[in-house]
Amino acid sequence: MILATLCYLKHQGKTLMIHRNRKAGDIHAGKWNGLGGKFEPGESPEACVIREVREESGLEIHAPRLRGLLMFPNFKGNDWYVFVFTATEFQGQLRDSPEGELRWVPDNELDRLPLWPSDHIFFPWLAGERFFSARFVYEGDEMKSHEVVFH
């Protein structure tokens, strides 16, 4: 089981996204994602997302908001549990990322990026007020099914 975080930084109608195109063996190679990554031992979800955003972008986020939990059973050989956050408060200078190209993407253009199929489904949920818990089943890169519960 792998625990991870994912954060969508929002600013002036844009979302900070990363094009995963720099790391050898990246399971997300070629896709655009929010920022985030795997937990370190003893980390809370909030500590993990703050650290990961800082490492990937140079930005220090404040008051990240936990929006939902995504579960990907047997994705690329592991069960993934991903805590999804949004953040609108941050400081610092955006820097080059070792993970890929960073870009502020207009929100109305997000769906045009090469995303995982599940991203197209849960992106609208980020705009809502309810917490979501979702399970997405993939075979390889193809999404086979999903289910969601809103709280």
Domain housing 130: 2-150
Bridging pattern class, strands 65-75 and 132-139: parallel
- The CATH number of whichever domain residue 117 belongs to comes to 3.90.79.10
User: Which residues are CB-neighbours of 104 under 8 A, at least 6 positions away?
Assistant: 11, 14, 15, 16, 17
Tally of structural domains, the chain: 1
What's the pTM? 0.95
What confidence tens digit (pLDDT) does each residue in 68-123 have?
999 999 999 999 999 999 999 999 999 999 889 999 999 999 999 999 999 999 99
